Amino acid sequence: MDDIRKIIHIDMDAFFAAIEQRDFPQYRNKPLIVGGTPDSRGVVATCSYEARQYGIHSAMPSSQAYRLCPQAIFVKPRFDAYRQASQTIRKIFTDYTERVEPLSLDEAYLDVSDVQLHQGSATLIAKAVKATIKRETGLVASAGISYNKFLAKIASDMDKPDGLYVITPEQGACFAGQLSIDKFHGIGRATARKMQALGIQTGKDLRKLSLALLQQHFGKSGHHYYNICRGIDHRPVNSQRTSKSVGVETTFQQDIKARPEVMAQLHSLLEKALEKVAEKRLAAYTLTVKIKYHDFVQITRSRTLPHAVTATTGTLAILEDLLRNTDIGTRKVRLLGITLSSLENQSRLTHFQQMDLFN
Which residues does 111 contact at the CB level (< 8 Å), separation at least 6? 5, 6, 7, 97, 99, 100, 101, 236, 237
Whether 98 is a known active-site residue: answer: no
Q: Quote the CA–CA distance of 12 and 306 in Å, as a whole number.
A: 39
Instruction: Of 8, 172, 178, give the one whose Cα is nearest residue 92.
Output: 8
How, if at all, do strands 107-111 and 7-12 pair? antiparallel
Q: What is the pLDDT of residue 346?
A: 54
Q: What is the pLDDT of residue 355?
A: 30
Lowest mean pLDDT segment, chosen from 13-22, 29-38, 177-186, 347-356: 347-356
pLDDT at position 357 over 60 = no
Q: Quote the CA–CA distance of 117 and 121 in Å, as a whole number.
A: 8
Q: What pTM value is reported for the model?
A: 0.69
Ordered by start, the domain boundaries in the chain are 1-166, 172-228, 245-348
Q: Quote the CA–CA distance of 7 and 111 in Å, as a whole number.
A: 5
pLDDT at position 358 over 50 = no
Q: What is the pLDDT of residues 45-101, one digit of tens each?
A: 899 999 999 999 988 899 999 999 999 999 998 888 998 999 899 999 999 999 999
For all residues of the chain together, what is the average pLDDT?
88
Q: Are 122 and 6 in contact (CB under 8 A)?
A: yes
Q: How many other CB atoms sit within 10 Å of the CB of residue 93?
A: 21
Q: What is the pLDDT of residues 274-307, one digit of tens each?
A: 988 887 778 888 899 999 999 889 999 988 887 7
Per CATH, the homologous superfamily of domain 172-228 is 5' to 3' exonuclease, C-terminal subdomain (1.10.150.20)
Q: How many other CB atoms sit within 10 Å of the CB of residue 38?
A: 16
Out of 20, 98, 107, 320, the active site residue is 107
Q: What is the pLDDT of residue 249?
A: 92
Which residues does 331 contact at the CB level (< 8 Å), separation at least 6? 257, 293, 294
User: What does R_g of the chain's alpha carbons equal in angstroms?
Assistant: 23
Order of strands, edge to edge, in the sheet holding 44-47?
44-47, 32-35, 73-75
Q: 1-166: what fold? A: Alpha-Beta Plaits (3.30.70)
Q: 245-348: what fold? A: Dna Ligase; domain 1 (3.30.1490)
Q: What is the pLDDT of residues 261-276, one digit of tens each?
A: 999 999 999 989 998 8
Q: What is the pLDDT of residues 165-220, one digit of tens each?
A: 999 999 999 999 999 998 887 788 888 889 999 999 999 999 999 999 999 988 88
Q: What is the pLDDT of residue 241?
A: 62
Cα end-to-end distance, the chain, whole Å: 62
Identity of the residue numbered 27: Y
User: What is the average pLDDT across 95-123?
Assistant: 91
Query: Crossing angle for the helix pair 221-228 and 211-218, nearest 10 degrees?
Result: 130
Higher pLDDT among residues 318 and 125, named by residue: 125
Q: What is the pLDDT of residues 220-270, one digit of tens each?
A: 888 989 999 999 999 999 887 666 788 999 999 899 999 999 999 999 999
Q: What is the pLDDT of residue 58?
A: 87
